[in-house]
Structure 1
């Protein structure tokens, strides 16, 4: 019970000092740099050659497995065993994303370090503001912290289930199966060798260990890839919430009568400087959001393009496998879990893209409703407000060459396409 309570306290960060004015990104989210370490991003010694070791090993193993899966798929098609062929093709496409993610991150090392530096500056600045700003911002950061652990646990369960079911079946065969059952020792993925039996020793043990390494590789890749995307996007989503707070108090506490004074009057100049300072922070935050979302798009654009292009085919084939098992009176639990995972890993960036888009448009509406036309002080900021409203009409979205805007409409379109492919396969 004590350990369970401890985990709850860590999950909710009950022992964390949210009122500390010296907080930064590393203190609140130490897991961010730890996860990026496995992608080859070092922060203490950014140019160290050692950073290439893990991504190189990870990508090499993924390439080997892709080649093996292609061989298994070809064998399945030759034997007209379409279940094995489609399953091998699914794994081939999924595992192909590992080197794409690793190469994309390594190629954009400087951009990632720059992005985290900007997020750290936001942290330090907001920590010095009053509770009206700190409270909503840290509420969002706590949510990011909790989502990180939920996502890590979920991806770990999905990947470990493939290896775990093999171990459970192997234990059953060792303890309870009889010699008359003629059971084949289980593996996580389908295997085949042209002139050898993959299930004999030591082939079986080698494939079992290799599949375990691939499962760990998938945890590391997909957990970090999706986590960094939703962490950074949610960070700027909650930063935009602070813009609403600034717009609500844009004209508060200022003397409206100075608008009738001469532009050279010291009182009017003081009010003008205060308004300019408030507007400057709003513009700086909005510019930071636009610049950072563009930076995120350039970093993770290639793997997102691959993800969007292949998701409709993968979801279709997984659903086909599930339906085929159901036709034979069986339920393939792993494929059901994989189907849910394939959908959610696509839904997350699309949902966050919609959140950012809507939030950005609402900033323009909030700027219009800030009361600038109801106060004489509005004429002092009229041109600035018009420019900000025009800038907010520019959609804040994840865009890359060959990539449609990541929004819920994109997710809906991909699912619809997958369903169409699924019906065609079933008819065939």
Structure 2
């Protein structure tokens, strides 16, 4: 057991990876991230004949579509029968499962943006391992933190999928142990499935439906792991670019001093020009990557912002309502907590991203560029102005993606929950 824990810690801390010297392959460094992209047919840069996007992703889409339709049928049945408990539970799962369809469709439509991300990561690693060697230690500290965050997120998502299946089996075992043949209770399912003119409680339909629900939960968590891990790496890579720009701005006038010698003046001017060109290239690259991120994730973030409050409210209400009737809904409790966590993470990351992008302006102010000649002043002013702009993640009718918005949405969910329970 001790040896296994030691191996896990070694893997988590990358103790067997030497990134202090030589070239570091970014796709080996972030191996879980790259392997997930390969699995989802988003990128396989080492394969000259990459596989089709379909196959696995088509299976994921079909399973999610079937589960969404069945849950919507349950929701409609709840409306017809005025079953508030079924309405809230089926409505919650319909929203959650429809999100998976949106994730898969966005992935399919935005393949060029994913490729741009991979190219940007590869280019940045090449720069740090060559021209930017002096920033290697700082840069890879941030990359190691990115790796650790991804591992924690993958473990969390996998744990949620496994826990939902465990709860489903425990519920079934408990039902079998306590079921009275004279009662009309039906065997439990992971999702509140209902199909017209079909009795899902009878064998073998029940067994098929039970396994379908469990597989759907596992596949959903698998798909969400891909989405969240890619989002984490993407935002952290933009932050890493902002750090490189800040470090280079701090070094812009290193070994440069006022002089009356013409040759020295020309040398310093050329040196500053080369350094400034490098800074501008990195700054433009950062915004290109930020725009690609917005193209892929803006719709998803807006959807999360829209559904987070009602989803938390409905799941919490359903848990409380079932608890009043003596039934504990562990699966819905997991769903409620997971919704809060997975909405909190992008809110935290985007808040930190905005701070980092704005910090480029502070780095410019920390550089005495007024002593560097009139040539670079307009560029410095342009960089500062651009760094102070809002992130391209806003849309009419929506709020900023931030911790403040997360807090407002959770407060709204709590208020709605109290209104329903009143």
Task: Please say whether Structure 1 and Structure 2 have the same fold, judged by a TM-score greater than 0.5.
Answer: yes
What SS does the corresponding residue of 2:55 show, helix, strand or coil?
helix
Of the three residues 220, 233, 236, the one matched with 2:235 is: 233
Measured in 2, the distance between the counterparts of 1:159 and 1:352 equals: 24
Of the three residues 342, 358, 371, the one matched with 1:345 is: 342
Measured in 1, the distance between the counterparts of 2:389 and 2:178 equals: 65
Measured in 1, the distance between the counterparts of 2:389 and 2:84 equals: 47
Please list, as runs of the form range in 1=range in 2, the aligned pairs for 1:31-180 lying within 5 A after superposition: 31-44=32-45, 50-129=52-131, 132-172=134-174, 176-177=177-178
Measured in 2, the distance between the counterparts of 1:368 and 1:196 equals: 69
Give the deviation of 1:211 after TM superposition: 0.8
Measured in 1, the distance between the counterparts of 2:335 and 2:56 equals: 26
Match in the other structure for 1:367: 364
* Structure-1-length-normalised TM-score: 0.90
Measured in 1, the distance between the counterparts of 2:179 and 2:223 equals: 40
Match in the other structure for 2:266: 269
What 5-or-longer segments of structure 1 have no aligned partner?
none
The answer to whether the Cα contact below 8 Å between 1:372 and 1:378 also exists between their aligned partners in 2 is yes
Measured in 2, the distance between the counterparts of 1:311 and 1:393 equals: 29
The answer to whether the Cα contact below 8 Å between 2:43 and 2:115 also exists between their aligned partners in 1 is no
Of the three residues 382, 385, 394, the one matched with 1:390 is: 385
Match in the other structure for 2:284: 287
The answer to whether the Cα contact below 8 Å between 1:298 and 1:400 also exists between their aligned partners in 2 is no
The answer to whether the Cα contact below 8 Å between 2:71 and 2:194 also exists between their aligned partners in 1 is no
Deviations 1:322-367 (A, max 9, x none): 3324544665333222112111211211221111111122211221
Q: How many residues align?
A: 419
What SS does the corresponding residue of 2:54 show, helix, strand or coil?
helix
The answer to whether the Cα contact below 8 Å between 1:40 and 1:106 also exists between their aligned partners in 2 is no
CA RMSD, aligned part only? 2.4
Deviations 1:136-188 (A, max 9, x none): 211111111111111111111212222211223434556x5576696643321
Match in the other structure for 2:224: 222
Measured in 1, the distance between the counterparts of 2:151 and 2:24 equals: 21
What 5-or-longer segments of structure 2 have no aligned partner?
none
What SS does the corresponding residue of 1:405 show, helix, strand or coil?
coil
1:189 aligned to 2:191? yes
Change (3 A) 1:179 1:418: closer
Match in the other structure for 2:200: 198
Of the three residues 381, 404, 414, the one matched with 1:419 is: 414
Give the deviation of 1:94 after TM superposition: 0.5
Measured in 2, the distance between the counterparts of 1:351 and 1:308 equals: 13
Deviations 1:48-101 (A, max 9, x none): 563212221211111111111111112223333211221111111100012211
Change (3 A) 1:48 1:119: closer
The answer to whether the Cα contact below 8 Å between 2:153 and 2:229 also exists between their aligned partners in 1 is yes
What SS does the corresponding residue of 2:53 show, helix, strand or coil?
helix
* Stretch deviating more after TM superposition (78-87 or 400-409): 400-409
* Structure-2-length-normalised TM-score: 0.91
Measured in 2, the distance between the counterparts of 1:131 and 1:168 equals: 55
Measured in 2, the distance between the counterparts of 1:66 and 1:21 equals: 50
The answer to whether the Cα contact below 8 Å between 1:42 and 1:51 also exists between their aligned partners in 2 is no
